[in-house]
Amino acid sequence: MILHLIRHPQPAIAPGICYGRLDVAAEDAAAVATRLRAHLAGGLPVWSSPLRRCRDLAELLRPQPAIDERLSEMDFGAWEGRAWDVIPRHELDAWASDVGGYAPPGGESPYQLQQRALAFVAELSMPEGIIVTHAGVIRVLLAHWQGLEPAQWQQLVFGYGSCTTVEVCRQG
């Protein structure tokens, strides 16, 4: 199965703010959609995170894309909408010491994000499709498929509006 994993356009939010499930609009979705359409085959199914920064782009790529909550960005819980520099240092240190397993207060861990994203992909049955989602979702999927340890996950970087194409081999 070939998947085109697209990160949403740059969100309209001040730099330095923690946002995961925070529902913010994106900038220049139309320009990103025009650029992507030039490189993607027409008629492919499109799935999207329900968050506006993804959904708006997905709707420009294909009217009425399939929306799936499992494609949402990581839930940062109490950190959502706060400046990174005001988040308690001991909480950030706890996350740094357990990159995959630590969940911010009231949020989810990267491992939990990975499990729900993998569950979504496991249900797909077509030969090719487009997923409009977030850097965190793309990162944990690729980390799984590449066999990376959590300490290596941050090496996977995806620009706003980027498309990463992967071939996923089905097991069994």
Mean pLDDT estimate for the chain:
95
* Position 146 confidence tier, pLDDT thresholds 50, 70, 90: very high
141 φ/ψ sector (left φ>0, alpha ψ -120 to 50, else beta): alpha
Q: Give the per-residue pLDDT at 169.
A: 85
Q: How far, in Å, CA of 113 to CA of 85, rounded?
A: 24
Whichever domain contains 137, its CATH number is 3.40.50.1240
Q: Is residue 46 part of a domain?
A: yes
Q: Is residue 172 part of a domain?
A: no
Q: Is residue 117 part of a domain?
A: yes
- Domain that residue 13 falls in: 2-167
Say how many domains are in the chain. Answer: 1
Q: How far, in Å, CA of 65 to CA of 55, rounded?
A: 8
Q: Is residue 161 part of a domain?
A: yes
CB 51 within 8 A of CB 72: yes
Strand order in the sheet with 46-48: 66-67, 46-48, 128-133, 2-7, 163-167
